[in-house]
Amino acid sequence: MFKSIRVGTARSPITVLAVFAGSTGLPRGVELSATLKDALGAARKTPGFNGDAGETLVAGDAGVLLGLGDRESFTADTLRAAAGSLRAQLDRMDANAARLIIAEVIPAKTLDDETAGRAVGEGMGLSNWRVDFFDGTASNTPPARGRLTLTASKPAFKRGLGAGLDLADSVNEARRIAATPPNICNPAWMAKEARRLAKNAGLTCRVITYAEAQRQGMGGIVNVGRGSSSKPCLIVLEHKPARPRRGVRLALVGKTMTYDSGGYSLKISGGMKGMKYDGNGGCAVLGAMLAIAKRKVPIHVTALLPAAENMVAGDAYRPDDIITMYNGVSVEVTNTDAEGRLILGDALAYACKKIKPTAIIDVATLTGGVVVALGSWSAGMFCNDDKLRGRIEAAANVTGERVWRLPLWDDHREFMRSKHADIWNSGPKRDGHPIQGAAFLSFFVDEDVPWAHLDIAGVSKVDADTPTFVPGPTGFGVRLLTEVAESLT
pLDDT of residue 65: 95
- Backbone conformation region of residue 296, classed left if phi is above 0, alpha if psi is from -120 to 50, else beta: left
DSSP state letters, 439-475? HHHHTTS-TTS-EEEEE-TTTSEESS--SS--SEE--
Same domain membership, residue 376 and residue 283: yes
Within a domain: residue 261? yes
pLDDT in tens, 237-276: 999 999 999 999 999 999 999 999 999 999 998 899 999 9
pTM over 0.85: yes
CATH value at residue 7: 3.40.220.10
Same domain membership, residue 426 and residue 342: yes
Same domain membership, residue 276 and residue 184: yes
Domain residue limits at 27: 2-128
The DSSP output letter for 392 is: H
Specify the number of domains making up the chain: 2
Within a domain: residue 420? yes
Within a domain: residue 161? no
pLDDT in tens, 279-337: 999 999 999 999 999 999 999 999 999 999 999 999 999 999 999 999 999 999 999 99
pLDDT of residue 276: 97
Within a domain: residue 102? yes
Return the amino acid letter for 71.
R
Same domain membership, residue 388 and residue 263: yes
Let me know: does 478 contact 287? Beta carbons within 8 Å. yes
398 phi/psi in degrees, rounded to 5: -70, -45
What are the residue numbers of the active site? 267, 341
Same domain membership, residue 195 and residue 107: no
Contacts of 328 (CB under 8 A, 6+ apart): 217
Same domain membership, residue 330 and residue 426: yes
Same domain membership, residue 229 and residue 110: no
pLDDT in tens, 437-481: 999 999 999 999 999 999 999 999 999 999 999 999 999 999 999
Within a domain: residue 476? yes
Within a domain: residue 293? yes
Q: Single out the residue in 128, 145, 164 at which a domain terminates.
A: 128
Cα dihedral sign for 85, 88, 93, 94?
Answer: positive
